[in-house]
Chain A
Amino acid sequence: QVTVRDALNQALDEELERDERVFLLGEEVAQYDGAYKISRGLWKKYGDKRVIDTPISEMGFAGIAVGAAMVWLRPVCEFMTFNFSMQAIDQVINSAAKTCYMSAGSISVPIVFRGPNGASAGVGAQHSQCFAAWYGHCPGLKVVSPWSSEDAKGLLKASIRDDNPVVMLENELLYGVPFEMTEQAQSKDFVVPIGKAKIERQGTHVTLVSHSRPVGHCLEAAAVLAKEGVECEVINLRTIRPMDIEMVEASVVKTNHLVTVEGGWPQFGVGAEICARIMEGSAFNYLDAPAVRVTGADVPMPYAKILEDNCIPQVKDIIFAVKKTLNV
C-alpha cells in the first residue's frame, strides 16, 4: 500500500533521475521538503540546481519556469495550492498554453504546473477553490486530476514526459490516503496515459462520472446502493482535458443513466461540459432520464465544519442523485 504523497514523491524522484533537464521549483520545495512533504528528500538527493526554493512570487517564478521550458528545460512548477496560481494565471495561459500555437509549433513548452486543488479542511473561502473548469477551458493546456496513488504516480510521470504544458490538479486531503499499487505500477516506466479515463467499478444501472477525491465518494455510494440492488458504473476521468468522453458515452449506452460528481462549483463546470457533450453525441438517444450533476455548493466555501461539509458533494448527495435519476 502506497500513499498518494509517496506515489508523487516516487514519480518526481524517478523523473529527476531519468532526465537531467527536469527540475522542480516552488515555495518550500527544497529545504522544507515541500509544504505538504511531496518533495521530501529530493533536495538532499539532487541539490540546489534540480530542486529550487523560490520566494513568494508566483507570477515571477511561474514566468521563469515557462521561459526555461521554452529553451531546453522541463520544469515542474509547484503552486502551494492552485488558489495561488491565480497570481500567475497569465503565465500559465498566455505564455505557456498559447505559445505552441502562436509560434506555429516552433516553440514547445514542456512544463508541468502541479499542486493541491479544491476544498481542504477548514481553510476558508480563499483557499478552497477548484480550478478544473478554469484550466479545462483552455486549448493548449492538458489538465489532469488524479484520484488514487496509481493515478498520481502515473499521471505525474506522463505529464513530465509530455511536451505540452500540463496542469496537474492534486488534492490535499488525498495526500495521506493509502491505495493498493500493483507491481507494474511500481516500475520506473509506469505511466498512466493522459486523456484516458478508467472504470473503477463495473455496473449496469447508472453511470457515475467523477474526478479526484469525489471518485472515492462515488465508490462508497455505489457500495451502499449495491445493497439495494442498484449497480453503479463508476468512471474515474483521470484527465479533464482532453476528456475521454468516449468512455462515458459507451457507459451511458449501456446504463442509460448519467450522474456527474465534482467538487467544483456548478456553473460552467466539468459536469456541465460532460452533459453538453453527451447531448451532442450518439449516447443522448440512450438516456432514459436527464443527466444530473452533483457539485460543490454555489457559494464561497464557509469555515464552520457543518457548513463546509454541506458545501461539498457527500455520499448521501450522490445516492440521492442516483435515486432521483432512476426514479426509485
Chain B
Amino acid sequence: QVMVASRNYAYFANEATFEIKKCDLHCLEEGPSTTAVMTREEGLHYYKTMQTIRCMELKSDQLYKQKIIRGFCHLYDGQEACCVGLEVAIKPTDHVITAYRAHGFTYARGVPVREILAELTGREGGCVKGKGGSMHMYTKNFYGGNGIVGAQVPLGAGIALACKYFGKNEVCLTLYGDGAANQGQIFETYNLAALWKLPCIFICENNRYGMGTLVERAAASTDYYKRGDFIPGLRVDGMDVLCVREVTKFAVEHCRAGKGPI
C-alpha cells in the first residue's frame, strides 16, 4: 500500500504582494514604491536562476581549488539577487557591462552553464572558445567581463552613447564594485554622462570589501549612491531580489524618459 501526498494547487495564490525596504535617495524627489508584486511564475524563475548561479559558483570554487580553473576566479555566490533582479527588470535588447565578477551576469544574460564552465576550464566549447577565461565572457548585449578595475565604466557610458545616437530607447547597465568606485575614470565618466545626458545606469555592487580591504579603509565616503554628485542616486538592498527589480525598473524608466544618467 503506497501513501501519496498530493498538493492541491487550488489552495495556492497566483501572486503575492511584498513589502520592500525604502531606498535612500540622492537628488531624487521620489523613489520606487515600497511594495512589489510577484507572480508564482516569476518567483519560481527568480529562485531557480539564483540557485543555479549559486550551484555553478560553488562548483567553480571547487574546480579552482583543484586547479582545473586557472588564473583568477571571482565568484558571485552571495550576490545572486543583484544580477537576477537587474536582468528581470530590463529587456534583452538593453545592454549590460560589468567588471570581473561576471559569471552570474553571463548566465543571466543567456549563456548556458555548460558554456560558462567550458570557458572557465579553457575548452573550445566555452562561450568565447577558451580565449577569454573567467574575466572575459561575452554574449549578445553583454560586454563582459572586464579585467581592469573601473575601465568598464567609460565603456558602459559609450554603449549608452551609441543607444542615444540611434534613438533606440535602449539603456546600458554599467556595473562596478565598491573598490572600483574610487577610480578616477569613473568620475570622468559621471561628468561626461551627465553633460551628454546618456541613458546610462551606474550600479555600484557594494560587497563591503575591495579585495581584502574593508570599504571604510578605502573610501572617504562610503555613500556610493551619492558619489555621482550631480547624478541622482539610490541606495538599494542588494540582498532582496524584488528590491533590486523595482529600483532597476525605476532607473530604466528614468533613462528611457531621457532623464539619465542615474
Chain A interface residues toward B at CB < 8 A: 23, 49, 52, 54-55, 57, 59-73, 90-91, 94-95, 101-104, 106-107
The distance in angstroms between the C-alpha atoms of A178 and B147, with both chains bound, is: 45
B189/A107 in contact, CB under 8 A? no
Of the candidates B95, B151, B157, B160, which one forms a contact with A95 in the assembled complex, judged by CB atoms under 8 Å apart?
B151
A71 contacts across to B, CB distance below 8 A: 95, 158-159, 162-163
Given the contacts A66-B155, A69-B158, A72-B162, A102 and B185 also touching, CB distance less than 8 Å: no
Interface-central residue, B97, B136, B165, by most chain A CB under 10 Å: B165
Chain B interface residues toward A at CB < 8 A: 95, 97, 128-129, 131-132, 136, 138, 143-144, 146-148, 151, 153-163, 165-166, 184-185, 188-189, 191-192, 195-196
Closest to B184 in A: A59
Given the contacts A49-B165, A71-B162, A57 and B155 also touching, CB distance less than 8 Å: no
Q: What are 7 A-B contacts defined by CB distance under 8 Å? A: A59-B184, A63-B151, A64-B157, A66-B155, A94-B151, A102-B128, A103-B131
Given the contacts A63-B158, A64-B192, A70-B159, A103 and B165 also touching, CB distance less than 8 Å: no
B157/A63 in contact, CB under 8 A? yes
**A-B contact number at CB 8 A:** 110
CB distance from B182 to the nearest CB of A (A): 14
Closest to B135 in A: A102
B151 contacts across to A, CB distance below 8 A: 63, 90-91, 94-95
B136 contacts across to A, CB distance below 8 A: 102-103
Closest to B139 in A: A106
A67/B155 in contact, CB under 8 A? yes
A68/B154 in contact, CB under 8 A? no
B156 contacts across to A, CB distance below 8 A: 67
CB distance from B231 to the nearest CB of A (A): 14
Given the contacts A57-B192, A70-B143, A90 and B148 also touching, CB distance less than 8 Å: yes
B154/A62 in contact, CB under 8 A? yes
Given the contacts A60-B188, A62-B154, A103-B132, A67 and B148 also touching, CB distance less than 8 Å: no
A67/B128 in contact, CB under 8 A? no
Sample of 17 further A-B pairs with CB below 8 A, known A64-B158, A70-B143, A72-B166:
A52-B196, A59-B154, A59-B188, A60-B191, A63-B151, A63-B158, A63-B185, A63-B189, A64-B154, A64-B189, A65-B158, A67-B155, A67-B161, A70-B158, A72-B165, A94-B148, A95-B151
B154/A107 in contact, CB under 8 A? no
The distance in angstroms between the C-alpha atoms of A107 and B138, with both chains bound, is: 8
B159 contacts across to A, CB distance below 8 A: 67-68, 70-71
The distance in angstroms between the C-alpha atoms of A277 and B132, with both chains bound, is: 30
CB distance from B142 to the nearest CB of A (A): 10
Of the candidates B138, B147, B165, which one forms a contact with A73 in the assembled complex, judged by CB atoms under 8 Å apart?
B165
B158 contacts across to A, CB distance below 8 A: 63-71
CB distance from A28 to the nearest CB of B (A): 15
The distance in angstroms between the C-alpha atoms of A91 and B153, with both chains bound, is: 11
CB distance from B138 to the nearest CB of A (A): 5
The distance in angstroms between the C-alpha atoms of A64 and B185, with both chains bound, is: 11
Nearest 5 CB-CB pairs, A to B? A67-B158, A63-B154, A60-B188, A67-B155, A71-B162
A104/B131 in contact, CB under 8 A? yes
Of the candidates B131, B162, B166, which one forms a contact with A67 in the assembled complex, judged by CB atoms under 8 Å apart?
B162
CB distance from A184 to the nearest CB of B (A): 34
A60/B189 in contact, CB under 8 A? yes
B165/A57 in contact, CB under 8 A? no
B162/A101 in contact, CB under 8 A? no
Closest to A62 in B: B154
B131/A101 in contact, CB under 8 A? yes
A57 contacts across to B, CB distance below 8 A: 188, 191-192
B129/A59 in contact, CB under 8 A? no
A66 contacts across to B, CB distance below 8 A: 154-155, 158
